[in-house]
Each structure stands twice: as structure tokens, then as C-alpha cells.
Amino acid sequence: MLLDKFYKPDNKLNLVLISIVLSSAILIYLQSHLYSIIIISNIIIFLLLGIFFKKFTFFSIIFTIVLFDWYSNWQTIDIEINKSKYYYSLEPLIKYECLTNSISKDNKLSNIVCCNQAIANFELEEINKHFKRNEKILEHLQNLGCYSIEFSDNLIQFWYSDMVIYISKGPDNSINYDKSVLH
């Protein structure tokens, strides 16, 4: 039949599939803010491959389910992948004990609160300048659903509506990652 030739994948198609998966993984690792575009385009590609190539239907369904799972859990995956980047870019603010700030809609920090010490005006300006330098990170975190960042004793907490993600520096200078689910 005429449609039978569409159902016979060859080695070139296998090579294309492997290159799509590897290039997507590398691109997500390097440019994590593009995750939604990359994951959705991969879902579309694998659904189309499942439709046109019968031998890839099972693989396409499984890979699409995995991609939907990654997409729904991207908050934790992104911070786990980029934990060193987030920690070192926000590390200068750890010196303020119990510093809390909320991310507003315009990617600016509002409601800066320091629990145990008063913040002088020049320190408040320094904090705002630091966040201005890291504006892309704040925007990315806000797009992931983060509404507050807290700092205390080598610990940075990212607050989401359903969880808190912790990044800390260990005694051996390794960056540690942990997550707590809010009920």
C-alpha cells in the first residue's frame, strides 16, 4: 500500500530521534528558561512521529508522558539542575540573617524584611542593586511560580504555592538541594 512506506522507519530516522533528544537535553541544560518551548515542541514532534510511524507509536506515547511529567515538575528539576548558579548568584545576600523578600509582578522585590536586624538605607539599596543585576534570574523564578525568596545561615529558600525548595552550601563546599511539600 501507499501508506506502508510511511510506517517503515529507517536508520536515518533513528539517528534523527536520538539527535532531537540529545540536542533538547543539552539546550535545556544550557538555557533552562526555554524549557517550556523545548518540551512542548518535543511533545508535538513525538506525537506526530507516533502518528506517521507505527513502529514509534509506543515510544512516542511513553516519551510524551515523560515530557508532560517533566513539564509539570519543572520547578524542582530546574532548581536542581541550576542549584549552583542560583546559590552563587544570590549568595551575597546570605550575610543578612533571616532576610525575606517577595517577587512582585514586575520582577522587583517588594516587602524586604529582615528578622533580627534593622536594614540601613544603604544596605537596602545594595540589596536592590544586587537583585537588579540578577533580574533575569528573578524573572525566571517568577515564571516558575516562585513568590518569595528567604535567606539565612548558608540557606536559600524558594517558596512556591505547594512546596519550598532549599539550596545550601555544605561543609565540603558542595551545593545541596532539598524540597519540602506544603500541605
**Tell me, what's the pLDDT at 104?**
58
According to DSSP, the β-strands at 109-114 and 99-103 are antiparallel
Confidence of residue 101 (pLDDT cuts 50, 70, 90): low
CB atoms within 10 A of CB 35: 21
Q: Does residue 22 have a pLDDT over 70?
A: yes
Tell me the pLDDT tens digit for each residue of 156-165: 888 888 899 9
**Tell me, what's the pLDDT at 167?**
92
Q: Does residue 1 have a pLDDT over 50?
A: no
Q: Does residue 48 have a pLDDT over 80?
A: yes
Q: Does residue 124 have a pLDDT over 80?
A: no
What phi and psi, each to the nearest 5 degrees, are found at residue 100?
A: -130, 140
Q: Does residue 182 have a pLDDT over 60?
A: yes
Q: Does residue 33 have a pLDDT over 80?
A: no
State the average pLDDT for the chain.
Answer: 78
